[in-house]
Structure 1
Amino acid sequence: MKISFAFFTLLFFLTFCLHAQNQLDDRVYKTYDALVGQDNTGLYNGTEFTDLFLNTDGSYRYFNAFDYTKGSVTYKGQYYVNVLLKYDLLEDNLLTRSEDNLSIFNVKLIPQFVNSFSIYNRHFVRLTDTNLNLSGNGYFEVAVLGNDLELYIKHTKKKKDKALKSGIQYRFSEADFYILKSDGKYNIVSSPRDMRKILPQKEEEIKSYYKTYKKRYKSNPNVFMANLVKYLDGPKMEKNQL
């Protein structure tokens, strides 16, 4: 009789503990969902980001603007839309934060889980098979997806330090370059001259295009390079439209 009583007492205790644990887990998930929103719970899965270089000359380390902007991202195979994003060009990281109670935290998304993202009407992908041994996490802006040629823009920024009486001031400057995919191979491109080396069969076309649109190359090299690749990739009947 004593054994039976002890057994049922132990069983009751274990059942109570299990029920209490389940209730605690439910409260944890409900609290977390309430903080970040159920739709975006999986998005805020990364490490906290802190900007250590805020004392600048007015420049910033991010793509297009200092502040967050609304965008979309495919993360862990799930598509999130209308979320706050910011692209750090200094360390090649995609950042996000919640608009709710966790908005004080900047989250650095885990690069391996980022497939693509869009901000400022620009689309970016993560390329992992370029075989170019580039630094960073592999984020590239998609500039041209043609029939035979593809062009990607690698946006980067460099940091310079300046010693002032009040401390160190930082300055950020753009240092973009391009990746051209031709015949299944990725190539680093920095100028039309590099393009001629990669596509020697189109050397005369490249020279002619550069001569015609030289001013555009100086004022907006990204637009020039994208239009050049479209020109080289497209049918002859379309070339006069660029």
Structure 2
Amino acid sequence: MKSLNWPFLFLFSAIINIPPLAAQEAQDPMAAYKWFDAVVGKENTGLFNGIEYIEQHVTVNDRQKFLGSIYYSPGSLVYEGQPYYEVDMKYNVYDDLLLLRGTGSKPLQIHQSRIAEFHLDGYDFININADTTAAVHGFYEVLLETGQLKLLKKHRKKYRKFLDRSYTYYEFYDDTPGYAIAIEEDFHPANSRREVISAFPGNAREIRRFYRERRKLSKNNPDIFMRELAGRLEQLSHSNTAGK
């Protein structure tokens, strides 16, 4: 006699006994996913498939390697094509790792290549699964999305190493971010005027003028400068299309 598949029986029993309220919420896809995770338990889903994260750097103050805070915040992500909501997680900027609150005392390091996107503390990130030698790869924040163009920002951290009498510790600081532009999922680095012109060779004159006229803004607030540049490139793209 074959042994019973208890996880399957549990899931089947849960589904056929959906309470009326949950059935109504199932009409909303997000509510349905939340209900399913609550019934099964996120730790029993395909999301909790990874290794225990071991911290490699000792820190002693708030100069740390994470986005915003070392503490977990509720966020959402798409993992192996499946959306998950209200997941406790944090983003290790320096190592470019998304970590989840594990079932033990250590964070859970899930398979980064299986993450399509995540949303945390008001930031929206996509994962560019290119070869690590490519100019654009890893987690990028979506700063702007207009038409067929996306403006992306790569958060970065740098560190200083301190040698105390009895141990070594590190302090992490925000480093110069990287930028990229995606045109119909074709990713181009955009960290300099030359790189932008390389992505839009037909608009070289306008791009040079833009950099020249907004040189001060590019130094004082590069995010705003890049947003304005992306908007201008979108306009030029429409003009070029209309002129054909």
Same fold by TM-score greater than 0.5: yes
What residue number does 1:81 align with?
Answer: 85
Q: Is the 8 A contact 2:76 2:84 kept in 1?
A: yes
5+ residue gaps, structure 2: 12-37, 239-244
Corresponding position: 1:54 with 2:58: yes
What residue number does 1:122 align with?
Answer: 123
Q: Is the 8 A contact 2:76 2:120 kept in 1?
A: yes
- Structure 2 matches for 1:140-219, cutoff 5 A? 140-173=140-173, 174-182=175-183, 185-219=186-220
Question: How far off is 1:225 after superposition?
Answer: 1.1
User: 1:193–1:78: structure 2 CA closer, same or farther, 3 Å change rule?
Assistant: same
Q: Superposition RMSD on alpha carbons, in Å? A: 3.3
1:38 pairs, out of 37, 40, 49, with 40
Q: Is the 8 A contact 2:180 2:189 kept in 1?
A: yes
Q: Is the 8 A contact 1:94 1:109 kept in 2?
A: yes
Identity among equivalent positions (%) equals 23
Question: How far off is 1:81 after superposition?
Answer: 0.9
Match of 2:65, as an amino acid?
Answer: R
User: 1:227–1:37: structure 2 CA closer, same or farther, 3 Å change rule?
Assistant: farther
Corresponding position: 1:97 with 2:101: yes
Match of 1:112, as an amino acid?
Answer: S
Q: Is the 8 A contact 1:93 1:137 kept in 2?
A: no
What residue number does 2:20 align with?
Answer: none
- Structure 2 matches for 1:211-230, cutoff 5 A? 211-230=212-231
Match of 2:94, as an amino acid?
Answer: L
Match of 2:162, as an amino acid?
Answer: K
Measure the CA separation in 1 of the matches of 2:84 and 2:62.
Answer: 31
User: 1:56–1:210: structure 2 CA closer, same or farther, 3 Å change rule?
Assistant: farther
User: 1:52–1:219: structure 2 CA closer, same or farther, 3 Å change rule?
Assistant: same
Question: How far off is 1:211 after superposition?
Answer: 4.5
What residue number does 1:10 align with?
Answer: none
What residue number does 1:5 align with?
Answer: none
Measure the CA separation in 1 of the matches of 2:119 and 2:204.
Answer: 34
TM-score where L is the length of structure 2: 0.69
Q: Is the 8 A contact 1:205 1:232 kept in 2?
A: no
Counterpart secondary structure, 2:68: coil
Question: How far off is 1:228 after superposition?
Answer: 1.2
